[in-house]
Amino acid sequence: MEAMPTPAARRYPPEHFINRELSLLAFNRRVLAQAADERVPLLERLRFLCIVSSNMDEFFEIRVAGLKEQMKLGSHAISADGLSPDEVYRRVALEAHALIAEQYALWNEAILPKLHAEGVVFLRRSEWTAEQQAWIREYFVGEVMPMLTPIGLDPAHPFPRVLNKSLNFAIELSGHDDFGRTGGAAIVQAPRALPRVIRLPKSLTGVDYGVVFLSSIMHQHVHELFPGMTISGCHQFRVTRNSDLWVDDEEVKNLRTTIQGELPQRHFGDAVRLEIADNCSPVMAEFLLQQFGLDRDDLYQVPGIVNLVRLISVPDQVERPDLKYAAFQPGLPKVLTKRYDVFASIRKQDVLVHHPFQSFSPVIQMLEQAADDPAVVAIKMTVYRTGTDSVLLEHLLRAAQLGKEVTVVVELMARFDEEANLNIATKLEDVGAHVVYGVFGYKTHAKLLMVLRREENGYRRYVHLGTGNYHPRTTRLYTDFGLMTCNPEIAADVGDVFKQITGMGKAGELKHLWRAPFTLHSNIIACIKAETEAAKASRRGLVIAKMNSLLDPETIEALYEASQAGVKIDLIVRGVCALRPGVKGLSDNIRVRSIIGRFLEHHRIFYFYADGAERLYLSSADWMERNFFRRIEVAFPVLDKKLKLRVIKEGLRPYLADDSQAWDMESDGQYRMRRNKRGASFSAQESLLADMTTAV
């Protein structure tokens, strides 16, 4: 029976660890560097700029909100890095202000002028022609004004409940209306249903893409909302709120009902950040801070539009392939290149698919064929993030309608996908599928699909195990591996995982899979320690691991000990990393690098030399306490020697050789972009694109 592990006591001093929040901000700096990189196509630079804003939104909604909650409760808890919540917040505020200032400087001084030069022109109000003004006013009267609800602030109209991340305007008024009310201030929320960027006809602008912001249109015509009053100021503002759902373990009786009740409150959590335009008057800025219960450190005054995320639609609207990454057609593994039967192919050999360089279609085909195949009697699948209009959901629905036993583990606590997953659950239940919500208190993050098929010699199980979500759109944007196999031992392990999630009982021993919260952490620690013992005995010790985040203190301590014993350790960590590499006497043999490029690096690969046996696992789990102890995760081995070599060749070696999009972490925790001084450079992602895809 597998025992439930607990995190071990920490032995190393705080200076050996990097703060999580500061490391996350450092990651966003690396993303911002993509927006500044002139080698990146212009519209893709704009997209990276927007991604930083989107990332920062979530950073404030979750991480800063958590810090503020701790501070409000008077917590003096010290994290592994030795900082209290108050100290972390002070450092975060300084760094976040600096980062956002750099972001706006990049937009105003580099990207915006270059877009203008390419015929993508953001028309300023002060420069609108009479013809443009007439068109814009017609748009305002016909499309915008009917949806607006101006709220004048007085005893009968208190300050409204402002939605999280909504675009709003604070209006400064003077004069009296016909009721005798004295102007002072008013609030107007921009309609969420309208686009934030509106394209004008070419005949009015003389350029291919002449656009105006909805905020500019509202600024221009806001006086029409308050006839007879004098407007002395109109200021954009946006508030970010605590958006983390909180569920009381002791009070909850029905998780689904509880989450349905909590979701509406997400829009009105405690305020954590106020964004305003830099032309906002000090009086209005102070008034807004008071209304939201915020301090000056929470105020982000920006030179330009509030919320750069609203620009995210521009690259898709502009049909300029020369300003975007080149389109490509994903490839297929050789075993699937002809007209293929998925189950026949898997019976022939294990199939490894590497996204986005190889198509996600085999996974879709597996589910589609399972739904239609009379020999298939049951399908089981985990759903974490799959999209609201996923073709995979359509196949699951059809399979259930055709009478197959369909069981879906829907994770209701997938952050910001809770509502979508509730809708998926409802649709599945309506056609008779079995829907369960995992194990309360543990997120089901493992990516598993199992098909049970009746064949000549009895039932055979076909499984897909992945490092990423069953989300067709993100498989074009994220790097991930998926393994399709009918290996009876691995399939039996997957079956046992499903059985434990949907039912009850003790966790039995698994043959091949490492499973959180039971054996994943202990097995990783054991493998690191085995490399340590090998190095102490003068044998080769080598660990190579690729992941999104590295935070677990015990794992970091084990890596430090391995380094001191002489184990060579290469860590490819895209985002947050609390480990300090290259510290003399502590981590001399550890190298940490982060790859930031066209695709979001997402696969988790764990390699241990193991005296030449080369143990290699793929997983959905990062090396974090939450993944090890508060989630249902699996790590699965690649047993086929050829496929194992493929993972090493495609998932590890290119990333260790990259000198184009790689950032090396130094011992002080700072990242330095690696450049080939000889001129030529090697990009892992570009190399894989060239080798595995076809240009479109």
CA within 13 Å, CB half, 227: 2
- DSSP string across 122-179: E--GGG--HHHHHHHHHHIIIIIGGG---EE-BTTBPPP-PPTT--EEEEEEESB-TT
Distance separating alpha carbons of residues 573 and 553, to the nearest angstrom: 15
Q: What token pair was written down for 54?
A: 């989107």
DSSP category for residue 11: -
CA atoms within 13 A on the CB side of 402: 19
Report DSSP state, residue 650.
I
Q: Is 410 in a helix, a strand, or coil?
A: strand
Radius of gyration of the chain (CA): 27
User: How far apart, in whole angstroms, are the C-alpha atoms of residue 476 and residue 371?
Assistant: 24
161 is written with which tokens?
Answer: 């409940």
User: At residue 190, what is the residue type?
Assistant: A
Are 617 and 637 in contact, with CB atoms under 8 Å apart?
yes
**How many C-beta neighbours within 10 Å does residue 64 have?**
23
Cα distance between residue 546 and residue 592, in whole Å: 10
Task: Give kind and range of the element (H or E) at residue 56.
Answer: helix 42-58
Buried b (16+ CB within 10 A) or exposed e, 285-305: bebbbebbebeeebbbbbebb
Q: Is 603 a catalytic residue?
A: no
Q: Which two tokens stand for residue 235?
A: 């200021």
Q: Give yes or no for a cis peptide into 303 (omega within 30° of 0).
A: no
Could you tell me where the DSSP H helices lie in 107-251? 112-117, 130-139, 202-205, 214-221
Q: What are phi and psi of 536, to 5 degrees?
A: -65, -30
The Cα-based distances of 601 to 19, 192, 202, 444, 624 in angstroms read 22, 32, 39, 21, 17
Q: Are 196 and 310 in contact (CB under 8 A)?
A: yes
b/e burial code for range 369-386 (CB count within 10 A of at least 16 → b):
bbbebeebebbbbbbbbb
Q: Which of 445, 471, 521, 602 is catalytic?
A: 445
Note the Cα 339 to chain centre separation in Å. Answer: 35
In degrees, rounded to 5, the angle at the alpha carbon of residue 656 between the alpha carbons of residues 654 and 659 is: 85
E strands in 434-526: 434-436, 443-444, 447-455, 458-466, 478-485, 514-516
So which residues are the catalytic ones?
A: 445
